[in-house]
Amino acid sequence: MSQGVVNELSPSRVYALSSTFPVDGRLTWYPPTLRGTSVINCYLLLEGTNAMLIDTGLAFHGETLVEQVATLLPDEYRLRILYTRIGDYQSISNTPLVAHRLGVEQIIGAAPECSTWTDFGVERDWGVISEMWSVPNHVLRSAETIGVDPQGDRELHVENSALRLLTNHWVYDGATETLFTGDVFTYCIRADERGPWLVTDPDEVSAEYIRTHLVGTRYWWLPDADAEPIRRGLNEFFERYKVTTIAPGYGCVLRGEAVVRRHVELLDEVLSSCGTRPRQRLSPAAYAYRGRA
Amino acid sequence: MSPLLPQVVRAPRELVPGIWWLGGCTAAPFADRILHGYSSPFLVQGDEAALLVEAGHPAELWAVEQQLDMIKGLGGPPLKYVFATHQEPPHSSGAGRILRANPEAVLVGTVQDYHLVFPGLEDRFRPMQIGESIDLGGTQFQIVDAVIRDLASTQWGFDTRRHVLFPGDGFAYSHYHEAGQCQRTAEEVPELDIADQAALFAELALYWTRFTDIEPYIERLEAMLAELEVELIAPAHGCPITDIAATVPKIVEGLRMGSVLPDLSPPH
């Protein structure tokens, strides 16, 4: 049984649209021995009549998500969807349902024709194929600026995260100092469905807990990695942008300047302990991508 | 319909008796050219049952469904198993729809996450571990270690009768549509710079190889090919490989190149 939860992260501007699910050893997103309850998060950004939905979640909460979005949208709206991770089910699964019920003007993601990545629902009674294949797409570059509104008064800075397995575009909303991090900072869960789904205590988790989470999930390769370039990339990012809310694709939202600072430090501490095995260094000059020119 | 997506369903290609190559090509612009890539499913037929390796890229499910119908029309054993190497849409997105269309079929192998992706089908998931196998009649489909992977849960498959390895994301590389390279094996497109293309894929999709020593993985890969006496490699994202000795070294060179290349992502 899943429960839908809506948290207003910035008044009338950013909403976390969450649905609970059990962490019970059946997921690749959490270490196999971890137990508790987590949430999958989509985020609705509003600016006047313009709406941007960041990620569309998984099939198990599709109806809940549509209801959450519909309740928050103004009477007249222009809805677009932005994917943090085109290659993950958590980002894309409910796109056809949202598009069919609410109408979507554009889909933004890191692949050509990314709307066509979404038509895999078991039920497809509504003729979704033709609908999805006609939705305009925008292909994300490794870093760029996207406006929530057409005038670009509220800009989102989008760039591929320095820590990633596959393409994972972080989205920074400067107007609300909120960073949407996809599959990073996803580790905070709760004992049961009561939540709360916001973390406000800077000392709730330890570096060892985060390390166990990363290595037990998609960052299995970190113990043998030379993570210094990743550390540098993350540090540069957080020096460039002031972040007071970290909004991950699943798990609790990290809330407040002190909490964010602490979690960024903990992640850096984990990454600094990586690299137990020296990497065989080959010179990039030894190779040049021959098809590039 | 999009100019970047397949507009006709190509006939499935039987690589060796009972091993069918399905799917189509998806296109992506890169460096002023259009690169084609695969997310290929393969149908493995035994004497009594058939198993589908990979369940198709979402953009190609309509084509895969028609190809399965074409093969069904030729006779052969019923589809009883679907095996996806890992939990990403290009590899497993068709699982729910294919299970619904084939009431006898079950999803086998690594089945984590799918209860939330395909709710209502949980009773048709059969988790299997590395080392376990399925008897298809006259051949076994073995679950083997995924040497080159992104998700840790990834599994590879191996057909014992025809010595075919199904390595998911391993042995991945693109090809050029305009050069007539679609639906060809690696050895049928000798002009394709496989090492170069494999390096590009590694750089874009195997990000972790930039930060780790790739050599232990290459050693394990070569040992596996020898131990299983692999005769045909059927990757999800590359041309099938029919000459192991000639082509695998090019892939290995590409893995090494991809692990040291600078960021080739499109410019900001």
Rounded to whole angstroms, the Cα distance separating A261 from A243 reads 9
In the prediction, which pLDDT does A98 show?
Answer: 95
Strands, E assignment, A11-82: 14-23, 36-47, 50-54, 78-82
Torsion of CA A155, A160, A166, A171, to 10 degrees: -30
What is the DSSP secondary structure assignment for residue A25, as one 8-state letter?
Answer: S
One-letter amino acid for residue A234 of the chain: L
- Please report how many Cα atoms fall inside a 13 Å half-sphere around the Cα of residue B32, on the Cβ side: 3
Nearest to A226 among B89, B119, B211 (CB): B211
* Residue with more model confidence, B253 or B109: B109
* Residue with more model confidence, B243 or A281: B243
Q: Is B117 helix (H, G, I), strand (E, B) or coil?
A: helix
Q: Is A120 helix (H, G, I), strand (E, B) or coil?
A: coil
How confident is the model over A79-107, as pLDDT tens digits? Answer: 999 999 999 999 999 999 999 999 999 99
Residue of B nearest to A159 (CA): B268
Residue of A nearest to B1 (CA): A133
The whole-number average pLDDT for the span A223-248 is 95
Q: Does any CB of chain A come closer than 8 Å to the CB of residue B93? A: yes
When the pLDDT of each residue in chain A is averaged and rounded to a whole number, the result is: 91
Taking phi first (over 0 means left), then psi (-120 to 50 degrees means alpha), and beta for anything else, what does residue B263 get? beta
Measured N-to-C along each axis, helices A257-272 and A207-215 cross at an angle, to the nearest 10 degrees, of 60
User: B146 in a domain, yes or no?
Assistant: yes
In the prediction, which pLDDT does B86 show?
Answer: 97
In the prediction, which pLDDT does B262 show?
Answer: 53
Q: Does any CB of chain A come closer than 8 Å to the CB of residue B113? A: yes
User: B88 in a domain, yes or no?
Assistant: yes
Question: How many structural domains are present in chain B?
Answer: 1
Q: Are the C-beta atoms of A197 and A218 separated by less than 8 Å?
A: no
* CB-count burial class (<10 Å; 0-12, 13-18, 19+) for A269: middle
Nearest to A220 among B29, B152, B262 (CB): B152
Taking phi first (over 0 means left), then psi (-120 to 50 degrees means alpha), and beta for anything else, what does residue A281 get? beta
Where does the pLDDT of residue A30 fall: very low under 50, low under 70, confident under 90, or very high at 90 and above?
very high
Q: Are the C-beta atoms of B123 and B57 separated by less than 8 Å?
A: no
Q: To the nearest 5 percent, what fractions of chain B are helix, strand and coil?
A: 30, 25, 45
In the prediction, which pLDDT does A291 show?
Answer: 46
Cα B146 off chain centre by: 12
Q: Is B57 helix (H, G, I), strand (E, B) or coil?
A: coil
In the prediction, which pLDDT does B31 show?
Answer: 67
Token pair belonging to B196: 């170069």
Contacts of B90 (CB under 8 A, 6+ apart): A87, B39, B57, B58, B236, B237
Name the residue among B29, B30, B24 with its Cα closest to residue B5.
B24
Interface test with chain B among A21, A23, A29, A89, by most B beta carbons within 10 Å: A89
- pLDDT at B46 exceeding the cut of 90: yes
Contacts of A240 (CB under 8 A, 6+ apart): none
* Cβ–Cβ gap B94/A111 under 8 Å: no
Respond yes or no on whether the N-terminal peptide bond of residue A196 is cis (omega within 30° of 0): yes
What is the DSSP secondary structure assignment for residue A108, as one 8-state letter?
Answer: E
Residue of B nearest to A29 (CA): B113
* Cβ–Cβ gap B97/A59 under 8 Å: no
Where does the pLDDT of residue A133 fall: very low under 50, low under 70, confident under 90, or very high at 90 and above?
confident
How confident is the model over B227-239, as pLDDT tens digits? Answer: 999 999 999 999 9
Sheet with strand B125-127: strands edge to edge? B13-16, B19-21, B42-45, B50-53, B79-84, B106-109, B125-127
What range does the domain containing B32 cover? 13-258
Cα A131 off chain centre by: 25
How confident is the model over A158-201, as pLDDT tens digits? Answer: 999 999 999 999 999 999 999 999 999 999 999 999 999 999 99
- Please report how many Cα atoms fall inside a 13 Å half-sphere around the Cα of residue A115, on the Cβ side: 25
Phi, psi of A238 (to 5 degrees): -75, -15
Query: How far away is chain B from the Cα of A254, in angstroms, using its nearest Cα?
Result: 24
User: B265 in a domain, yes or no?
Assistant: no
In the prediction, which pLDDT does B259 show?
Answer: 82
* Cβ–Cβ gap B263/A60 under 8 Å: no
Q: Which CATH number fits the domain that encloses residue B198?
A: 3.60.15.10
For A224, the enclosing helix (H) or strand (E) is none
User: B264 in a domain, yes or no?
Assistant: no
User: B6 in a domain, yes or no?
Assistant: no
In the prediction, which pLDDT does B195 show?
Answer: 85
- pLDDT at B261 exceeding the cut of 70: no
For B7, the enclosing helix (H) or strand (E) is none
Rounded to whole angstroms, the Cα distance separating A123 from A128 reads 10
* Cβ–Cβ gap B152/A28 under 8 Å: yes
Q: Does any CB of chain A come closer than 8 Å to the CB of residue B115? A: yes
Percent of chain A with pLDDT over 90: 79
User: B67 in a domain, yes or no?
Assistant: yes
How confident is the model over B144-165, as pLDDT tens digits? Answer: 999 999 999 999 999 999 999 9
Q: Are the C-beta atoms of A118 and A68 separated by less than 8 Å?
A: no
User: B266 in a domain, yes or no?
Assistant: no
* CB-count burial class (<10 Å; 0-12, 13-18, 19+) for A283: exposed
Residue of A nearest to B100 (CA): A122
* CB-count burial class (<10 Å; 0-12, 13-18, 19+) for B96: buried
Query: How far away is chain A from the Cα of B60, in angstroms, using its nearest Cα?
Result: 9
User: B230 in a domain, yes or no?
Assistant: yes
pTM here is 0.93
* Residues of chain B with C-beta less than 8 angstroms from the C-beta of A292: 31, 264
In the prediction, which pLDDT does B241 show?
Answer: 95
What's the per-residue H, E or C state across A164-204? Answer: CCCCCEEEEECCCCEEEEECCCCCCCECCCCCCCEECCCCC
Other Cβ atoms within 10 Å of B187 Cβ, number: 13
For A107, the enclosing helix (H) or strand (E) is strand A106-109
